[in-house]
Amino acid sequence: MELEVVWFLVIAFLWLGYLFLEGFDFGVGMLLPVLGRDDTERRVMINTIGPVWDGNEVWIIVAGGATFAAFPAWYAGLFSAAYLPLLFVLLALIGRGVAFEYRGKVDSDRWRRAWDTVIVIGSTVPPIGIGFVIASTVLGLPLDADGNRVGSAFAAFRWDTLLGALAVTGFSLLHGAVFIALKTDGDIRRRARRLATAVLPVAILPVAAFALLVHVRHGSGWTYVPFAVTVAAALVAWWRIAAGREGQAFTALGVAIAGTVVTLFGALFPDVLPSTLDAANSLTVHNAASGDYTLTVMTWVAAFGTPAVLVYQGWTYWVFRKRIKTSHIPAPPSAQQVSS
């Protein structure tokens, strides 16, 4: 297999890992004021992702870095069209990270509510922006013969790219609800399970619609298979979460997003960034790739580094695998002083 194809598959896998892992991170943040009735319950929700959220964000950094190194023309064409949404994504992620750290620094309800608002915003904006970026690369941009984007900075904002943004956002919210049900116990778990059961048909609809749109426009006969897997896995997730089997529902959602990513990147290949002006202007795995020496060095580095990262992250999830309850959350300093 050519190294260009190998790195195309690696980048697709990195996007899959990011959507699956960071998706529930964003969902937990979006649902913070919905499922958390008081500060203790909100602390439970934050603690479900506390040990893993920053590690999950590494996947998008590696995906962007791999694109830059392996396919510089793809990186330049896509990111030049996505400066504005990526800027908002970056600011939101910075604010979200700061909010996690500073939320508990002052024993004040007003202080915590302010940072909770930052967490909600910082968890809602990124999936919108990331969905727009993914939609732009699979549906295409107006590129000239040199592979440069033409038109205004808003040329990529179309109804179909906005559908992609809605798909990632809806999946993240649903994934977060199922994850909360999986990682908590008591009232929060029951509320999260009811919410996931209720919103799953609505939240998964944009995902299925976007995958179907990409399949119809760019797909081939075989890309119908992963699309069918996506729909079937979503139905299984709905069935299992309604039955109270959160782990099985969470796994089924993982299969659903895997089927979606395979559909999107399978339909995209061999292009990496189609041109909406002229198909001859599209960037492909061959004309957008780096030289053989660069790809060879990257392959050797990834061969040694990737297993170590996967083992470490898997170990982290294993260590923090147990459910969290409100009884596990210590009282704030002021409450401890009053009780004493």
- In eight-state DSSP terms, residue 273 is E
Mean residue pLDDT across the chain: 90
Question: What pLDDT, in 10s, does the model give residues 273-324?
Answer: 998 888 888 899 998 899 999 999 999 999 988 888 889 889 988 998 889 8
Question: What pLDDT, in 10s, does the model give residues 79-100?
Answer: 888 888 899 999 999 999 999 9
Residue 82's pLDDT is: 84
| The amino acid at 3 | L
Residue 220's pLDDT is: 85
Which residue has tokens 């500060």?
39
Residue 55's pLDDT is: 87
pTM above 0.85, yes or no: yes
pLDDT at 71 over 90: yes
| The amino acid at 193 | R
Q: Could you give the 3-state DSSP secondary structure of residue 275?
A: strand
Mean pLDDT of 11-20: 94
Note whether 157 and 128 are within 8 A (CB).
no
Q: Kindly give, in sequence order, each residue whose CB lies less than 8 Å from that of residue 219, ignoring residues fewer than 6 positions away.
A: 227, 263, 266, 267
Q: Which residues pair with 283 in a beta bridge?
A: 273
CB count in 10 Å sphere of residue 303: 9
Smallest CA-to-CA distance from 286 within 8, 87, 36 is with: 8
Note whether 289 and 5 are within 8 A (CB).
no
Note whether 282 and 274 are within 8 A (CB).
yes
Which residue has tokens 């992702």?
49
pLDDT at 327 over 90: no
Residue 153's pLDDT is: 67
> Please, which pLDDT band fits residue 13 given cuts at 50, 70 and 90?
very high
Question: What pLDDT, in 10s, does the model give residues 217-257?
Answer: 888 889 999 999 999 999 999 999 999 999 999 999 999 99
Residue 336's pLDDT is: 46
- Measured between alpha carbons, how far is 107 from 86 in angstroms, rounded to an integer? 34
- Measured between alpha carbons, how far is 273 from 265 in angstroms, rounded to an integer? 11
> Please, which pLDDT band fits residue 145 given cuts at 50, 70 and 90?
confident
